Structure 1
Amino acid sequence: MSANESLKNALFTEEFTQNPYPVYEKLRQSEPILNLKFPDGRYGWLITRYDEAVAALKEGRFIKDITKAYGAEHTSVFSTNMLFADPPDHKRLRGLVQKGFTPQRIADMRSHIQDIADTLLHEASAKDTINLIDEYAFKLPIIVISEILGVPTEDQDKFRVWSNSIIGASNRETSEEVAQHMHEFIAYLKDWFAKVRENPGDDMISQLVMAEDQGDRLSEQELYGVVTLMIIAGHETTVNLIGNGVLALLEYPEQRKLLQEQPELIHGAIEEMLRYNGPVEFSTSRWAAEDMEFHGVQMKKGDLVVVSLNSANRDAGPFEHPDLFDITREKSQHLAFGRGIHLCLGAPLARLEGEIAINTLLRRYPHFELQAGVDELRWRPGMIVRGVEEIPLALHPES
C-alpha cells in the first residue's frame, strides 16, 4: 500500500475524528490536493494546504450551485441560500440577510448577550458539575439567534435536534430518522411562515417573509433555504467555538492563567481558538465549472472540491509553531470563517458571543476543571462542524 493510500484510509476514521491534525500534516507535505472518496460516497478533491485553500475559496471557476453541476434533482429544500449560490443570486440573497448583521446592530447586542451569559452561569451555580455544551455553549447562541429570528422560546430545543440531523447527514446517506426530522422541520417552517404572514413582527423572519409576500426577491424555496442557514449557522459555529476554546484553555493552563489575569486579551484569544481547533472542519462543497488546471492538478468539469479549513489553519507556512496554542499570537489570517464572497456573514456575532461566553466563565468560575480525560471526549462525526458532544466541568464556585 502506498503512503498516500495509507493516508486516504486514515481519513474520516474514528481516530481521525478524535485528532485529525497528524494526518493533515502528512497530507500537506505529500499531496495537498488529494483525490479521494468522501464518506457519503462521492469522489472529489480535498485541499489541505493554506495557499491552495485560500485560492480555492476565492476561485470563481469553482461554483457552489449544485444544480449547475448535476441538475435540479440533486438539490434539497435547505440548500437554496447564499451559501450554495453563485453570483448574481448570491449577492441578492446575502443582501437580504446582511441588514440584520450590521456591525452597529451586533455591537448593540453586547449588553444583552452579557445578561444571557450571566443568567445561564447563575443557573449553573446550583450544580457541582455541568455539561458545558448543553447548559452553556449551546444555550447562549441559540437564545441569541432565536431572538433575532423570532423563534419562540419553547421551540428552541427542537432546533438543536433538527440542526444536528441536517449536519449529521452531511457524511452519510439520509437515514429514516434524519428524513423524519427534516420533514418535521419543513412542516414547522411552513406553519411558522403562515403565522407570520397573518401577524408579522419586527424580527428578521417577519421581514423576509413579508418581503417575499410583497413580490420582492425571495421565492418559497429560497425562504426555506435562507431561514435554515441562519438557524443552523447562527448557533452551530458559536457552540463549537466556545467548547473548543475552553478545551484549548484546559490543554494550555498557562494560557488560561494569562487570559484570566488579562481579560482584555480575549480578542486575540478568540482568533487563536478559531485557528487552533476551529468550529468548522471543512468548507461546504464546490464544483469545477469547467475542465481546468488548479495549482498543478487537472480537474474535470463537475469535480467536487472540499477545503479542510482546520488543516489550512495548522500550516507552518503562514503560522509559526502552528500546533501550539498562543493567545498572544500576531493577528493571523486564519480561514475559520472562510474567505472570498462566501466569508461567514455571522462571524462578528460569533466572535462577540465567544468573547463574552469565555471571559464570563473564567471570571465567575476561575477554578473549573474537566471531569474526564480529553481522550474520553467524543467528537461529533460529520463533514462540517468540529466539536465535542459533551464537556463535563466541575465549576468549583467556592474555591
Structure 2
Amino acid sequence: MTERPERVVLKTELFADPEALRAALGSDGPIHRVVLPDGMPSWLVTGNEAVKQALSDPALVRGVDAAAPELRPYLGLASDDFVLTRHMLFADPPDHTRLRKLVSQAFTPRRIERLRPRVDEIAHELLDGFAAKGGADLVESLALPLPIAVISELLGVPVEDREYFERYAEILTGANSSSDFEDIVGAGRWFDEYLTELVSRRRVEQGDDMISAMVAAQERDDRLTDLEVRSNSFLLLAAGFETSVNLIANGILALLRHPDQLEDLRSDRSLMSNAVEELLRWDSPVSGITYRFAREDTVLGGAAIAAGEHVALSPPSANHDSSKFPDPARLDLRRRTNGHLSFGHGIHFCIGAPLARLEGEVVFAAVLDRLAGLALAVPVETLTWKETFLVHRLDSLPVTFEPEAS
C-alpha cells in the first residue's frame, strides 16, 4: 500500500485531455489524491482496470449519506429532497435495482432499434434546414436539436416546451463549474414544477411514452413515489440527450481532424458501428464521474480509501490507458474498442447507451451522405468548450461544405 501523497489541485480543462491530466498528476498510477475544480478533496481514478473496479465496488456508494461531514459544503443539491437527485443515478441497491428495472424496459436494444427510421427522419429534416447554405454550426443545427427531439418524443414532452427544456438543461450541465449555484437551484425548480404539471397531465391523458409508463407503474403497485417519477423523468430528459450531443459534435470534429479516417468511413460504411465506439473512446462525452463515497475503508488501485472519502473517476484517462489501448492517442476506426468506459460500467452503466449509439450512427451517416466537402470553418485551436469537468461539450462547431442543390 502506498503512502498518502499531497493533493494535486486540478483545473477544469484537464479533465478532457488525458495527456495533460497525466502530466499534471505527475504519475502514471491508477489513482491520485486531488482537489477537484470545485474545491472538493477527492481521489481521482484514471487507470482503466481501476475505474472498472471503482464502478463495481459495493464499498463505493452513490448515496451522499456516506460522505464525510467535511464534504457536505460541496454536495449542494445532492443532499436535499430535490428532483435533481432522487433518481436511480444517485441511488444504491435495493432502490437502484427497483428503479432501473422499470426504466430499462424503454431502453432495450430491440426497442431502441425500432426508433432508427424516426431518428433518421429527424436528422434529415434538420439537414434540410441548412444543407443548401454551404455552412452551419453543427452543434446548434444538428448535434443539439436531434437528441433533444428524440428524447422529448420518447418521454412525451410537447414540441412547444422543448426550447425551455434546452435552456434550463444547459444550466445544469454546468453544475460544479460554470453555472452559478442560484441558477442551478432555479433550473431545478423549473424542472420540478414543469414535471409536476406534466406528470399530472399524464395521469389523466396517458400516452405511449416513458412518463406515462412510470405513472401507470405507480398506479399498479405504488412502488414509485411522486418524487421518484419526477426525478427519474428529469434524469432521462437531461442525461438522455447530453451524451448524444457530445458524441455527435466531438465525433464529427475528430473525423475532421483525421481526414484519412473520415474518408475511410465514407468509403466503407460497414465500419460505422465500430467507428462510433472508437470515437466514444478517443474523445469521451463524459469528462468526470463524481459523487461516489466509501461507506467503509477499502483499497482501490493500491490506495487505502478511508470511509467517507470521495472518489471521482476519469473516463477519458481510462479510455487512453496504454495498457488497455496501445497507442491510445491515435484515432483508428478499425481498432478493437472493447473496454472503453465512456458509458460507465457495472450497475450504473448508462441506460441510454443504445440510444446514443444509434443516434451517432444515424447522424454520421446522414452527414457523410449530404455534406460533401465538409471542413472546419475556423482553426481548430479557436474552438471553445463548456466550462465544466463533468462533460466535454463544444460550444459550437462551425463548418463549411458544398451547398446541396435545392
TM-score (norm 1): 0.93
Could you tell me whether the CA contact under 8 Å between 1:290 and 1:301 is conserved in 2?
yes
Could you tell me whether the CA contact under 8 Å between 2:370 and 2:404 is conserved in 1?
no
AA aligned to 1:186 is: D
Supply the distance in 2 between the matched residues of 1:324 and 1:230 (Cα, whole angstroms): 33
Alignment of 1:213-292 (within 5 A): 213-292=219-298
Residue 73 to residue 230, structure 1, CA distance change in 2 (3 Å): closer
Asked if residue 301 in structure 1 is aligned to residue 307 in structure 2, the reply is: yes
Alignment of 1:379-398 (within 5 A): 379-398=385-404
Supply the distance in 2 between the matched residues of 1:211 and 1:203 (Cα, whole angstroms): 12
TM-score (norm 2): 0.91
Bigger mean CA deviation after superposition, 286-295 or 385-394: 286-295
| Structure 2 counterpart of 1:12 | 11
How far apart are residue 388 of structure 1 and its match?
Answer: 0.6
Could you tell me whether the CA contact under 8 Å between 2:32 and 2:43 is conserved in 1?
yes
Supply the distance in 2 between the matched residues of 1:320 and 1:210 (Cα, whole angstroms): 49
Supply the distance in 2 between the matched residues of 1:331 and 1:185 (Cα, whole angstroms): 37
- Give percent identity, aligned residues only: 38
Supply the distance in 2 between the matched residues of 1:173 and 1:360 (Cα, whole angstroms): 34
Supply the distance in 2 between the matched residues of 1:381 and 1:341 (Cα, whole angstroms): 29
Specify which of 21, 29, 32 is matched with residue 30 of structure 2. 32
How far apart are residue 293 of structure 1 and its match?
Answer: 2.4
Could you tell me whether the CA contact under 8 Å between 2:281 and 2:337 is conserved in 1?
no
AA aligned to 1:143 is: A
Structure 2: give runs of 5+ residues left out of the alignment: none
Could you tell me whether the CA contact under 8 Å between 2:133 and 2:403 is conserved in 1?
no
AA aligned to 1:250 is: L
Supply the distance in 2 between the matched residues of 1:43 and 1:172 (Cα, whole angstroms): 19
Residue 28 to residue 338, structure 1, CA distance change in 2 (3 Å): farther
Report the 3-state secondary structure (helix = DSSP H, G, I; strand = E; otherwise coil) of the residue aligned with 2:11.
Answer: coil
Specify which of 148, 154, 165 is matched with residue 148 of structure 1. 154
Asked if residue 74 in structure 1 is aligned to residue 79 in structure 2, the reply is: yes
Report the 3-state secondary structure (helix = DSSP H, G, I; strand = E; otherwise coil) of the residue aligned with 2:341.
Answer: coil
Alignment of 1:317-328 (within 5 A): 317-328=323-334
| Structure 1 counterpart of 2:60 | 62
Bigger mean CA deviation after superposition, 68-77 or 280-289: 68-77
RMSD: 2.2
Alignment of 1:163-182 (within 5 A): 163-171=169-177, 174-182=180-188
Q: Deviations over 1:242-284 (max 9, x none)?
A: 0010011011000001100111211111000000001011123
Q: Deviations over 1:213-262 (max 9, x none)?
A: 44421112212221111001111100000001001101100000110011
| Structure 1 counterpart of 2:137 | 131
AA aligned to 2:59 is: R
Q: Deviations over 1:54-92 (max 9, x none)?
A: 111111110011134369981342111111111111110
How far apart are residue 365 of structure 1 and its match?
Answer: 0.8
Residue 300 to residue 354, structure 1, CA distance change in 2 (3 Å): same
Aligned residue-pair number: 393
Specify which of 202, 205, 209 is matched with residue 199 of structure 1. 205
Report the 3-state secondary structure (helix = DSSP H, G, I; strand = E; otherwise coil) of the residue aligned with 2:93.
Answer: coil
Could you tell me whether the CA contact under 8 Å between 2:15 and 2:288 is conserved in 1?
no
| Structure 2 counterpart of 1:53 | 51
Supply the distance in 1 between the matched residues of 2:184 and 2:46 (Cα, whole angstroms): 30
Q: Deviations over 1:282-334 (max 9, x none)?
A: 12321001122223212111111011001110110010110000001124210
Residue 119 to residue 48, structure 1, CA distance change in 2 (3 Å): same
Could you tell me whether the CA contact under 8 Å between 1:17 and 1:381 is conserved in 2?
no
How far apart are residue 177 of structure 1 and its match?
Answer: 2.6
| Structure 1 counterpart of 2:110 | 104
Residue 126 to residue 92, structure 1, CA distance change in 2 (3 Å): same
How far apart are residue 205 of structure 1 and its match?
Answer: 0.5
Supply the distance in 1 between the matched residues of 2:147 and 2:404 (Cα, whole angstroms): 27
Specify which of 348, 352, 356 is matched with residue 358 of structure 2. 352
AA aligned to 2:338 is: S
Could you tell me whether the CA contact under 8 Å between 2:33 and 2:43 is conserved in 1?
yes
Structure 1: give runs of 5+ residues left out of the alignment: none
How far apart are residue 397 of structure 1 and its match?
Answer: 2.6
Could you tell me whether the CA contact under 8 Å between 1:40 and 1:173 is conserved in 2?
no
Specify which of 368, 371, 374 is matched with residue 377 of structure 2. 371
Residue 169 to residue 120, structure 1, CA distance change in 2 (3 Å): same
Supply the distance in 2 between the matched residues of 1:309 and 1:20 (Cα, whole angstroms): 9
Supply the distance in 1 between the matched residues of 2:358 and 2:123 (Cα, whole angstroms): 12
AA aligned to 2:8 is: K
